[in-house]
Structure 1
């Protein structure tokens, strides 16, 4: 088992929580993990990204070579395109469709979506809206993790257990909201797969 994951978004969108949840789920399955630091202006709404590598064998480097990432999980659509050179041809691009407009010349959304849709294996999900529907607007990042979960070789139950561990100190209500966000994101991807089949 091997998964090379690029996480991307904007500072404050919860990239660290996605990474921590995936890492916990991987450790619970006795897998090796390496993660690069989260790079970028995370306190100022700037672009942030991280490399996360998971394997059943020891991992030498925390950096993913160009063209070999299995999946990009992006909480922001423009940021998803920034890392396409890292994605392998048969990899998955899983991105939020809701923009975080923090620059005056933000690209036209229809152009962004058309670029994303050119990629054969993509999930374009309005994670902000789904998070609102499950009454947890701050859980957009966990909706994104749920949407990506069918493309990661880790049992879904392990992600749920990881959420309980990561968010447990915040109380049962926060855990339950994040579990609902995870399930809603996963359901979106599974439904999308069926519609494409």
Structure 2
């Protein structure tokens, strides 16, 4: 088993929480992981990117080569498109469709949606609305994780265990909110890929 994942978004959206849950689930399965340095964290609203590599065998480098990513998981559509050169030909993009307009020359939202729709393997969904309907707007990152889960090669229960472990210190209500968000994203992705 091997999965090379690029996580992207904007500072403050919860990219690190997604990486932590995936990492815990992989370790629970006895897999090896490596994660590259996350960039852009010094500024809330700045771009954030991380390489996460999971494998059943030794991983020599924590950086994913261009054309080598199995997945791009992004909380922001422009950031998803930014990393397309790293995506393998048969790779999938799992992304939020709602722009986080943080720069003056942000691209036209409709143009972004057209470009996403033209990709051969994409699950694009409004994670913000799904999070609000299922649990809380603050759990949009867990909706996105749920949408990516069918592509990660691990059973959904492992991610739920990771969510419980990571959010336990914040109380049962926060754990349940994040589980509900994860499940909403998971169900929505399964509908899109049927």
TM-score interval, normalised by the smaller of the two chains: over 0.9
TM-aligned CA distance change 1:40 to 1:143, over 3 Å: same
1:26 aligns with 26
Maintained 8 Å contact 2:38/2:49: yes
Determine the C-alpha separation between the residues in 2 that align with 1:193 and 1:73: 16
Structure 1 residue 193, shift from structure 2 partner: 1.3
SS at match of 1:63: coil
The Cα of 1:139 is off from its aligned counterpart by 0.6
- Are residues 1:167 and 2:133 paired? no
SS at match of 1:40: coil
Moved over 2 A (4+): 41-44
Give the total of aligned pairs.
194
CA-to-aligned-CA distance 1:144-169 (integer Å, 9 cap, x gap): 00000001101111000010011111
TM-score by length of 1: 0.97
1:106 Cα deviation after fit: 1.1
Q: Secondary structure at the match of 1:34?
A: strand
How far off its partner does 1:42 sit? Answer: 4.4
Supply the RMSD in Å over aligned alpha carbons. 0.8
User: Which runs of structure 2 are paired with 1:107-126 in the superposition (5 Å)?
Assistant: 107-126=107-126
State how far apart, in whole Å, the 1-side matches of 2:38 and 2:75 are. 14
Q: State the partner residue of 1:47.
A: 47
Partner of 1:16: 16
Contact 1:12–1:42, Cα closer than 8 Å, also in 2: no
TM-score (norm 2): 0.98
Unaligned runs of 5+ residues in structure 1 are: none
Give secondary structure in 1 for the equivalent of 2:132.
helix
Shift of 1:136: 1.1
